[in-house]
């Protein structure tokens, strides 16, 4: 996955916050991207139908794009999750 992000110019990456999201957020940020973590309860509101990876990805994209709600911030030194 990091090879994919390494090929992209710096961009905004939206992710649903979960146990491994903090690790990936750190790694993707090291490549120059901006990462926004969105708690699952805020993403769920944007799921339009069913449950598939593609639908979940579209919901995360829309939730981050709209910009309302709470974002999670990860610390540079650890995986502490602070709500903004």
Residues in CB range of 13: below 8 A, 6 or more apart: 5, 25, 28, 33, 34, 35, 36
pTM of this structure: 0.74
**For the chain, what is the mean pLDDT?**
83
Instruction: Report whether pLDDT(57) > 80.
Output: yes
- pLDDT score at 9: 97
Q: What is the pLDDT of residues 18-55, one digit of tens each?
A: 889 999 999 999 999 999 999 888 888 888 888 899 99
- pLDDT score at 72: 60
What are the residue ranges spanned by the domains of the chain?
12-83
- pLDDT score at 70: 57
Across the range 50-76, mean pLDDT stands at: 77
In this structure, how many other beta carbons lie within 10 angstroms of the beta carbon of residue 3? 6
């Amino acid at each position: 996955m990091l090879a994919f992000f390494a090929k992209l110019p710096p961009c905004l990456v939206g992710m649903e916050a979960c146990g491994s999201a903090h690790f990936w957020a750190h790694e993707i940020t090291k490549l120059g991207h901006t990462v926004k973590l969105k708690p699952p309860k805020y993403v769920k509101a944007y799921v339009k139908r069913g449950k598939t990876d593609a639908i979940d990805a579209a919901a995360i994209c829309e939730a981050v794009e709209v910009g309302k709600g709470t974002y999670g911030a990860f610390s540079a030194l650890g995986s502490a999750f602070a709500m903004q």
